[in-house]
Amino acid sequence: MRVKWTPILFADDTSVLISHSNPSDFKNKIQSIFTNLNEWFKNNLLLLNFSKAKFVHFTTRNTNQMEIITDHDNRTIPICSYIKFLGITVDRALSRRHHVDLVRKKLSTICYLTRNIKPHLSSGILKMIYHSFFHSIMSYGIIFGGNSPHSSEIFKLQKTGNQNKDGTWI
């Protein structure tokens, strides 16, 4: 079977998705694809920034990870358990756990700040702050994992973190 690979270019970021049904063939083909990719970079007067390059091997939870080493010009691309792609953190099992943890920390900070400035601002300004900071972070990328079991933590934070002491909304 042929290896499928798709480069994804967005602004100055390049991601490559490689898939193959046979794990041993997949492991053997990665290096040749990486060499072709570097040649494409060179032909288009671009360089791969090895300090930012990462490799994630996406698998199901029950599949064992293979030892895959990707290198070029005596530089190895580190293997990571998760990666940030267009602002959404994705781990190798395609779970939203790590992303939800990061978002929850950001939103908890915003809730704390909002509670502290609430007595000094009108409800209109507080709603503007909520939509600017909390809602924009919470809703970004929700279509990709809003039904994840981990996402309920974010929705609970939205409900509890943006209420007045009397139960009314900001």
Residue 64: DSSP 8-state: P
Type of residue numbered 110:
I
H-helix or E-strand spanning residue 153? helix 152-161
* Span 57-106, pLDDT tens digits: 887 766 666 666 666 667 777 788 888 888 888 888 887 788 888 888 88
* Span 96-141, pLDDT tens digits: 788 888 888 888 888 888 888 888 988 888 888 888 888 888 888 7
Mean pLDDT of 10-32: 77
Confidence (pLDDT) at 145: 62
Domain ranges of the chain: 4-88, 95-161
H-helix or E-strand spanning residue 35? helix 23-43
Of the pLDDT bands very low, low, confident and very high (cuts 50, 70, 90), residue 147 is low
Of the pLDDT bands very low, low, confident and very high (cuts 50, 70, 90), residue 43 is very high
Beta bridge partners of 76: 71
